[in-house]
Structure 1
């Protein structure tokens, strides 16, 4: 399955005026490194784009059921789904494992979601959401593995290109690959190189590229709360294989250092998943070295984090 630029463009038209447009800011005074401040998006992450596009497309097609929408996610996707559902005046039923942090449960409830705790693992919650959809007729959503979700995420790249038309490369963290798929599809249209960054111990896309097919991976990273997909989507693999993409890995120490640097130098508080992208271009030990003078934009994709350890 491949996402198309026309699908991303359609998503941009569909959600126009309903999401916060991206702000880009220079990271330093060289004019070559930029930040895309997507952590300022509704619900604190890029996920709001895809969730809204998903529901609006189903409303347009007459396939948005009275039973509402359901999803298994205690993270950014669940928050975005609940927010988008509220904006459309429909119910959102979000399944989480019983081990989910109370703060996430409370945040979901604040968006009006019906939160249901099932089992002890994400797989238990996923199975429960599927059963709920089958028995109630609710629309089943997914955190990343859906073309409408990925196309919505890709609208971010259209906005970045509008603001930095001579951009050479965009750096983005990868979990299951929804954001990556959308960005890579749009970036290819503009001839922009994509740097796909994953934690070394959370490498679903990297492993899929090595194997030539989607495979399951072990998850053990500080950024696993947002990038901890056990397998990448087929869309993400197709995008990585067919577009101008570099897949790179960073270790947890570099991710922690990047998050600390964002706070210390810019007073930007982001989650570890967002810092993963910046870690790839760290001046100390970069996983990606852009050509001299190249203009590079790092996507800071989410800010749903506990800032209590950012004290310096």
Structure 2
């Protein structure tokens, strides 16, 4: 299980290679962390850069480069990080991955292999590549620690912050946020009712397979939460709430209408927790919503 020291080590390793994303006011006692402005369009670039650099330090990176499996964002992050670090990348994605993400993978120079209907199937295929450094989309200590650098930035900007809302898929983001902020800030995991891997694991006492569907399945559609995120969430006793697809769609639309912010459905889940009442802050509670990805087709927002 990773801790704050691991997150600080990741911050030193990736400094100058990722963007320090803005924190903006969103109303009284409300803020947005604009991580969707990160290179390659999501938070996962932090973790991927850290994962590749840490692997290189251990001598695990060969001329074959890196291989990753992803429904979209982790693949984009791996492709971007590999290109910036000068190594080849091969990315396995489900055939259901959004076309906008698949096209971007090619533009970033990655070799794309589409196989299976879900992330788990693409993951199994990627593991067959044993000559390259496998970069896990979420359940890797270096990936999680790199993502946790978001928490360090958030606390530096908002030292009096009470609560942060985090959308959860496989758990690579919330695991990092917990490692960075568990002693300082209340952390609330937000998941779609139709893709509730962490919520189900906390309920069952261990990671279990869950069915995956819904509007946010392309980015929050992990069938099973990662072991690292589960252990961190359980030990920190974080809050966990669920939101409906309708609430997610409405939150995404409201982010555009009210703030001119364009994000993917999975990202909008965090804001949906506030708008739908799934999470109700106390009076005066200072709340940040982590807006973590924007690899989406904005044509349906007009």
Q: Which TM-score bucket, shorter chain as reference?
A: over 0.9
- Given candidates 53, 67, 78, the residue that maps to 1:56 is 53
CA shift in 2, pair 1:236/1:120, >3 Å: closer
Match of 2:227 in 1: 234
CA contact (8 A) 1:39 1:303 kept: yes
CA shift in 2, pair 1:302/1:89, >3 Å: same
Are 2:245 and 1:258 aligned? no
Match of 1:16 in 2: 15
Are 2:287 and 1:288 aligned? no
CA contact (8 A) 2:98 2:218 kept: no
Q: Specify the SS of the correspondent of 2:68.
A: strand
Are 2:262 and 1:269 aligned? yes
The correspondence of residues 31-180 of structure 1 with structure 2, limited to 5 A, is 32-132=29-129, 134=130, 137-180=131-174
CA shift in 2, pair 1:170/1:122, >3 Å: closer
CA contact (8 A) 1:22 1:160 kept: no
Moved more, 238-247 or 224-233: 238-247
Q: By how many angstroms is 1:105 displaced?
A: 2.5
Q: Tell me, which stretches of 5 or more residues in structure 2 are unaligned? A: none
CA contact (8 A) 1:175 1:227 kept: yes
Q: Partners in 1 of 2:77 and 2:265 — Cα distance?
A: 18
Cα root mean square deviation, aligned: 1.3
CA shift in 2, pair 1:176/1:305, >3 Å: same
CA shift in 2, pair 1:109/1:58, >3 Å: same
Q: Partners in 2 of 1:79 and 1:255 — Cα distance?
A: 23
Q: By how many angstroms is 1:128 displaced?
A: 2.2
- After superposition, the C-alpha distances for 1:204-231 in whole angstroms (9 at most, x for unaligned) are 0000011001100011221111000001
Q: Partners in 1 of 2:176 and 2:48 — Cα distance?
A: 13
Q: By how many angstroms is 1:98 displaced?
A: 4.0
Are 2:238 and 1:213 aligned? no
Q: Tell me, which stretches of 5 or more residues in structure 1 are unaligned? A: none
Q: By how many angstroms is 1:115 displaced?
A: 1.5
Moved more, 73-82 or 92-101: 92-101
Q: How many pairs were matched up?
A: 302
CA contact (8 A) 2:119 2:221 kept: no
Q: Partners in 2 of 1:130 and 1:243 — Cα distance?
A: 31
Q: Scaled by the length of structure 2, what TM-score is found? A: 0.97
Q: Scaled by the length of structure 1, what TM-score is found? A: 0.94
Match of 2:24 in 1: 25
Q: Specify the SS of the correspondent of 2:113.
A: strand
CA contact (8 A) 1:198 1:276 kept: yes
